[in-house]
Structure 1
Amino acid sequence: MKFTGTKNYVSTEDLSMAVNATIALERPLIIKGEPGTGKTLLAIEVAESLGMELIEWHVKSTTKASQGLYEYDAVTRLRDSQLGDERVKDIKNYIKKGKLWEAFESDKQVVLLIDEIDKADIEFPNDLLQELDRMEFYCYETGETIKAKKRPLIIITSNNEKELPDAFLRRCFFHYIQFPDRPTMEGIVKVHYPKIKKALVKDALDLFFDVRKIPGMKKKPSTSELIDWLKLLMSDELPDEILKNADTSKAIPPLYGALLKNEQDVQLLERLAFMSRREQAK
């Protein structure tokens, strides 16, 4: 099995090599990168490319590692026992399988996405060390050991909000998705909008990369925001010349709400535009 990207996902040589290395090593793949660089989408496309089922575990700040294994609903069992429900005789009726359990019991190899692991508590990765290393865990309520029938291909994403423990990192293959260069970005745009005018792409990318170069930006626009912006530019049928020779120090980009996501960056561009106009007026 080799991953080289798909018709819907442009994968660089380094990224494809990382995916294929984690398949060969049978270790989890940790993907880091700026928000909007396609980390989550990678798992979806890897599963599609390799013909595997995708199991998604989206981590939140309140997520516990044990939830990925299973949850025992003791409250419902107690209530059912008081009502004389026959289901209480089998404790398995009150075990809710987690995403790891689903992946382990699958008869075929699956792709397991653990999305945004850095959102959870700092101990979350450590609590999964043994399960991800041995590919098994023990269910105390039923007295059974759940072992992986087929070792899943595990892809873990992180936005670098907090550092991951060294012991966890040692058990993984790591890859940082670099922000796409211009040729790669042109390929990404072509995947999303194959019929877009080349002139529009050129002018939009000129402006987009100029905005990203501005010092002091709190949040630089990402790939996903560029795609949204281009969609708006096409749907609004703006005149072709509106982006030509645009200077981000003299004007705010049209439909900037798709690119800029906080008031500090908008105010920064507005100040640059004001200062430029004042200099020209002298």
Structure 2
Amino acid sequence: MSVTRSEVPRRASEGSGQRAASVIVNVIDVLRCFTVEAPLQGVTEIAAQVGLHKSSVSRILATLEGEAIVERDEASRKFRLGLGLIAVAGPLLANLDVRRVSLPMLQELSAEIGETVALVVWDGTEAVTVEQVASTQNIKHTAPLGTRYASALNSSVQVFLADLPPERARELVESGPSALPPGAGVGTQEVVGRLDRVRERGYAVNQGDTFAEEVGICAPVRDHRGQVVAGLLMAAPFYRVGPDRADELGARVAAVARQISARLGAPPGPPASD
């Protein structure tokens, strides 16, 4: 069977492309061996996981080390992911819009629980509503985009205060924009205790503390650095959310907040206590 001149380079190109694709797949497979549970990996361990000869794995790691994608651990001489990987992922991380990422999950959560769900961000002293999916029920609680919450009794504010250094949080509660209003019936020490509870269980509850007819539940959303960049807020009429349902909804809101955080690249944290 004869082969024309035009067919030869095309077939050679196909073979070259397949080999290049195979090399790329091998590199990706090697990188996927580094996990949260097993951040340190040796050549032999990686070779066993990806099914490559140790010499091939060594060559891949040497190239990745030269680009700072992986680095050696001084104590074990094994490899771990390097800071060069952050530089590669930087543009993606910078363009991850928490509002865009969160919206589908807000819609699903609102449909599931039948209540209004919103996303709030922190401007340094107040929580600001930047996204909202309203409940379809006739009686519901909603707020215009841009609504600000300052009081430390708001669940959305407590989520951000709980992530601040304790002295800064206390300062805001005592004399800053989050200061308790006159006649609040709640003192600074009680609010500080609530912030401890937020850290323990992973969500804050405002059971009619700011408005007698409303319950607010908020959980932190974290980014790839583990920092709180938003709060997932649920608002509902008081008569529909008693203490038992508040705990149930709080756990659900916190779970969805963790899902959003995972989409943003947040490192897994310890499970919240009940």
Fold shared per TM-score above 0.5: no
Q: Name the TM-score, length of structure 1 as normaliser.
A: 0.26
Tell me: higher relative CO, structure 1 or 2? Use CA pairs within 8 A at least 6 residues apart.
Answer: 1
| Structure label with greater radius of gyration | 2
